[in-house]
Amino acid sequence: MSEPSDRLKKDLTRHFKERVIEAVLFLAAFVSVFTTTAIVYILVSESWVFFQHVPLTDFLFDTQWTPLFDDAHYGIMVLLSGTITSSAVAVLVAIPLGTLIAIYLSEFAPFSVREVAKPFLELLGGIPTIIYGYFALLFLTPLLQKIYPDLPGFNLLSAGIVMGIMIIPYVASLSEDAMRAVPMALREGSYATGATRLQTALRVVVPSAISGIASAYILGISRAVGETMILAVAGGMQPNLTFNPAQPGATITSFIVQVALGDLPHGSIGYQTIFAAGLMLMLLTLVFNLIGFYMRKKYREAY
């Protein structure tokens, strides 16, 4: 009778080992939750100290941003205007071109073109942003100055355009995925009535994939809002309350880089501004990401 109990014992150790492994793997997966919590905690706690010195109304409504001067002002609007202006330029470049490429690749291109173009877009999306920054400052800005001589050497326009080009692969590839997920039966239904490729693409495929495409747009916008190095290199870092892309300007992100490059003591108010700015940025992108997340979920449920 001793044999069964021995076997049972063996099973128990095995069971225990399995549970330990599962717990370890769970902890690894839980790192993502920990990271999010840590991000929120760090941003909020440092911003908390910041907002004890700076009233929230000043932060939201002041029209100057001079945290490092003796006469310090903390109007986040100034940085927001730079972020919005450069992102708007980027979106105006990336959405039309990205959508065009997506429709072309999904509905028009022969198989061989798609096989080459998709990896190429992926490579384009993998180029470090510092390289794009260099390109904006030293290639595109001089080029634009030939057309428009008054353009300053640092400007949001050139940075925004290059940022748009950088985002094209994301918009194109995510939109294309959404269009390819449209069942072939719908396309056949359209072609069977005598529709052309373009009619099928614009009247059936795009409307069917619209929530996926919209989520691609939103993720693209969110990338533009969070982009840092292109603006730090080519946008100029002086705070400037303007919506004119032909001017230099600082964004939330490029301000953080500017402060980090300097030598601010830990715990100083200047040091805390970057966390307040970061919190602002985090909230902005969080809103975009959540909208994008729910749209993608919706379009998965559509078929």
Q: Which of residues 51-90 bind another protein (CB under 8 A)?
A: none
Euclidean distance between CA atoms 302 and 208, whole angstroms? 8
Which x/- pattern over 205-244 shows residues binding another protein (rule: CB under 8 A)? Answer: --xx----------x--xx-xxxxx--xx-----------
Q: For another protein, which is the closer residue by CB, 61 or 113? A: 113
Contact flag: residue 94 with another protein (CB under 8 A): no
User: 146-205: which residues touch another protein (CB under 8 A)?
Assistant: 165, 168-169, 183, 185-199, 201, 203-204
Q: In this chain, which of 1, 70, 111, 150 binds another protein, going by CB under 8 A?
A: 111
Total residues interacting with another protein, rule: CB under 8 A: 105
Contact flag: residue 16 with another protein (CB under 8 A): no
Q: For another protein, which is the closer residue by CB, 156 or 282? A: 282
Count of C-beta atoms within a 10 Å radius of residue 227: 26
| DSSP string across 115-130 | HHHHHHHHHHHTS-HH
Tokens for 138? 């030293």
Find where tokens 């748009």 sit.
Answer: 164
The least CB distance from residue 91 to another protein, in Å, is 16
Contact flag: residue 121 with another protein (CB under 8 A): yes
Is the torsion defined by CA of 284, 267, 239, 255 positive or negative?
A: negative
* Alpha helix segments (H runs only) across the chain: 2-53, 56-61, 76-103, 111-125, 129-135, 141-147, 156-180, 184-192, 197-200, 206-208, 210-226, 229-234, 252-261, 269-302
- Near another protein by CB under 8 A, which window of 1-9, 69-77, 115-123, 241-249? 115-123
The least CB distance from residue 131 to another protein, in Å, is 5
What one-character DSSP code corresponds to residue 168? H
